[in-house]
Structure 1
Amino acid sequence: MSFHDQQYSEKRDYMRMQVQATAVMKLPELGETLAVQCHDLSSQGMQATSELAVAPGTAVEVSIPSPNPHLPGLEAKGSVVRCSEDEAGRHILGVQFDSLG
Structure 2
Amino acid sequence: MLEYDEKRNYIRMEIDCDVTFKLADSDELHHGRCSSISGAGVSFIADRSFDPGKAMEINVIPKNTVTPSMTAFIEVIRSTQQGNGSYEIAATIKSIKGE
Under a length normalisation based on structure 1, what TM-score does the superposition of the two structures give?
0.82
What is the aligned partner in structure 1 of residue 20 from structure 2? Answer: 24
| Structure 1 portions without partners, runs of 5+ | 1-6
CA shift in 2, pair 1:28/1:14, >3 Å: same
Runs of 4+ with deviation above 6 angstroms? none
- Residue 4 of structure 1 is matched in structure 2 by none
Q: Which runs of 5+ in 2 are unaligned?
A: none
The equivalent of 2:56 in structure 1 is 60
Matched residues, percent identical?
25
Deviations 1:12-65 (A, max 9, x none): 010111100110111122443210110011111111111111111110101113
Computed over aligned residues only, the root mean square deviation of the Cα atoms, in angstroms, reads 1.7
**How many aligned residue pairs are there?**
95
Cα distance between partner residues in 2 of 1:78 and 1:49:
15
Aligned mates of 2:14, 2:7 — CA distance in 1? 16
Query: Which residue of the partner structure matches residue 44 of structure 2?
Result: 48
Change (3 A) 1:66 1:40: closer
Q: CA deviation at 1:73?
A: 1.2
